[in-house]
Amino acid sequence: MSNNTGSRLTEAKSVANDLLQKMESTDLSIERHLLQAKRLARLLRDSDAQTWLDLEISGYKEGFSAKTLGNCLRYAQAGGRVSKDGKYYSSSLPRLEAACNAGRQRVENATPKASTGTAEDFMAADATIKLLHSQVAALNSVKEAYLNNVELFSSLKAAVHGYVTDTLIAIEFGNVAESIFDGLRQEVDTFVRSHCPKAAEKLIAIAERMAEGTSEALAEALTSCRRLLMTVADSVFPPADEDWLDGSGKPRKVGADNYKNRLLAFIETRLKSDSSLAILENELEHLCSRLDAVYEKTCKGVHADVSVEEARLAIIEGYIFVGEIARLQKSTGQPSVGGDGKPAPQPQCSASIANPKGECDAPTPRSSGNRINC
């Protein structure tokens, strides 16, 4: 995470906490709350929330479509602003608040007053009773309108409160996830620097392709992720011409292209738990199947449709798997073993990654805001 992004999230968390405190304990106008909520949405680059909050401030115009609210439609529906069939209240929240204040005043001023005259002062004997009934009916009508406005206003204000609460929880969860991922990143960085510095090239390539965002670039990012696993396999279990016998006695090819088998071979030499081995085997099988499918299409010149979400999840899964390899390498402290049963040679830092002299204390290379240590 860049320093700019981190400072924005810190400010957003502060704004959210302050807004919740004000909404729960002070009597500020709803417009003040909405403007602060808009600031929160702006800090988080939440365009859906900015659109929704703008409409709550200015009102919903004729021809409004619920689709324009995007992810915030659920808050508008929860607050009663928009119904499931697309109907909506057009009044802005500040105007609704003003209507509530005016309605309260009318209710206070509309108390029925009994006539000081006698029944003979009216054309009919029950004129006084009819007058009182009409006053009560008018008061009930004013009360009903007031209560309806208060109910809608409170519900919509609660929806804004819900958005701010959900946002704060998301920020705090993100901080926890970032802390966890930072620990993983440090392990992977150390592993890459010490055992397979060429993997840094693949990580940089992945970051650059992801930053482009096109379907073709995303497919290339997954291809680079496949190359990353091949590079890791080369470092922990170099290729061999002879087959490798797995724990069940089944021979497996461990040539240059058999990177999945070589990774499995390394894992099996380091893990004693059958259950843990089975879990990692399943994770690797799933990951390699996805990456190989994209790679095969690319090799055949067939367009591989890859969404941003799919690419991101696959790359994260690949990165976490490299973290598993790093953990296994670190936990035993033993040198990598090749297919011939001999310790694998430890690669040195590449000049193309670190510096012209190939020293490992070179400045961290940067690409598209992503930090890779080597």
Concatenate the DSSP letters of all residues of 298-327 into one string: HHTT------HHHHHHHHHHHHHHHHHHHH
Q: Within its chain, how far is the Cα of 369 from the centroid?
A: 18
Q: Is residue 363 part of a domain?
A: no
313, 245 contact by CB (below 8 A): no
Task: Look at residue 370 in the predicted model and tell me its pLDDT.
Answer: 35
Q: Is residue 144 part of a domain?
A: yes
- 216, 342: one domain: yes
- 242, 311: one domain: yes
- 168, 291: one domain: no
Task: Look at residue 127 in the predicted model and tell me its pLDDT.
Answer: 56
User: H-helix or E-strand containing 245?
Assistant: strand 244-245
- 169, 220: one domain: no
Q: Is residue 236 part of a domain?
A: yes
Task: Look at residue 3 in the predicted model and tell me its pLDDT.
Answer: 61
- 11, 158: one domain: yes
Q: Is residue 190 part of a domain?
A: no
- 341, 267: one domain: yes
pTM of the model: 0.56
- 12, 73: one domain: yes
- 128, 165: one domain: yes
Q: Is residue 203 part of a domain?
A: yes
* Distance separating alpha carbons of residues 364 and 351, to the nearest angstrom: 13
Q: Is residue 369 part of a domain?
A: no
- 215, 170: one domain: no
- 9, 142: one domain: yes
- 36, 132: one domain: yes
Q: Is residue 68 part of a domain?
A: yes
Residues of the chain with pLDDT under 70: 1-5, 110-139, 303, 332-374
- 247, 170: one domain: no
Tell me how many domains the chain contains. Answer: 2
* Distance separating alpha carbons of residues 364 and 42, to the nearest angstrom: 31
First to last CA, the chain: 18
Task: Look at residue 172 in the predicted model and tell me its pLDDT.
Answer: 86
Task: Look at residue 39 in the predicted model and tell me its pLDDT.
Answer: 96
DSSP 61-79: PTT--GGGGGGGHHHHHHT
Task: Look at residue 201 in the predicted model and tell me its pLDDT.
Answer: 87
Task: Look at residue 266 in the predicted model and tell me its pLDDT.
Answer: 93
DSSP state of 16: H
Question: What is the residue range of 70's domain?
Answer: 3-176
Task: Look at residue 333 in the predicted model and tell me its pLDDT.
Answer: 55
Q: Is residue 308 part of a domain?
A: yes
